[in-house]
Amino acid sequence: MNIGKFFKVLVSILLIFAVVLGGTYIARVWSNPFKEDITAGDMDPLEKTDNKVKVNILLLGLDKGQSRTDVIMLCCYDQTRNKFNLISIPRDTKVTYDKHTELINAAYGMPVYNKNGTSTKGGVALTIDKVKGLMNIPINYYAVFTFDAFKKTIDAMGGVDFDVPQNMHYSDPYQDLFINLKKGQQTLDGSQAEQLVRFRRYVRGDLDRVSVQQDLFKALAKQYLNVSSVKKIPKIYSILKNDVTTDMDSKTIAYLTKRMLDLNVQNDISTYTLPTYSDGGSHLYPDRQGIQELMTTTLNY
């Protein structure tokens, strides 16, 4: 084993102890270090083959009013292939709610009526139900984050180098959203990164937006999936602990973190977009055949 690989393994082991046991680096990491949505319901058990697992985590980014999901991504880790696959679901994808269709990003804030006439927000549970209806695979964990948490994390990491594909200008006082980015290579701070992922005025609308989000994810992975970033974990945890809702416990987080540190970012992280087709307008509809091919042929489900 060469010195570089030995150091990487050593730091990975220390990282697991830091996350699982807490100590001076991560002040108080209990069995579940983040908030959990108790209405999310039971999640699917992990799928195992020859003692190797597939882990599917639904990532949801909430808008300013926390009633719609601006970002919907499914992160799939395949231990057999040692690959992370990130599948983006366009927020403008139409799905069925009872007897009517609506955008999938509305599921989080949609009222669900109980037998006694009261209603609750669809939240994580309804969003998971709609995603599983599209993709027909188990979902083992979820993580819900706000854009404030996203911005703070980017700032804590020191920004992200990114080539902005076009000039971006947009203003929406209702959403407290003001976008003003220039085209070209630059270092984005947290606020600018939020502007980037929320901008929607592209030729292909939400599909181009998803592509830019995936490119940003790859840029973050390339710059920060390395052992030198371990020292930033305490600061990031202190930021996220009150702004992220998830059912992943510290052991799961440590396991996935170690797996990601072992990845070759160029070869082992792949991004996909849920296959859809357009009605000629801004709305998208699931391409069932395309989805089945993606899940079975490409992702081995």
| The predicted structure's pLDDT at residue 33 | 66
CATH 3.40.630.190 fits 3-298, yes or no: yes
| The predicted structure's pLDDT at residue 254 | 78
| The predicted structure's pLDDT at residue 18 | 42
Closest CA to 110 of 102, 118, 119, 121: 121
| The predicted structure's pLDDT at residue 50 | 80
| The predicted structure's pLDDT at residue 92 | 92
| Residue ranges, the chain, pLDDT below 50 | 5-30
103, 87 Cβ separation under 8 angstroms: no
Phi-psi region of 49 (alpha: psi -120 to 50; beta: other; left: phi over 0): beta
Instruction: Record the pTM.
Output: 0.83
| The predicted structure's pLDDT at residue 264 | 82
Look-up: residue for tokens 């600018």? 192
| The predicted structure's pLDDT at residue 292 | 95
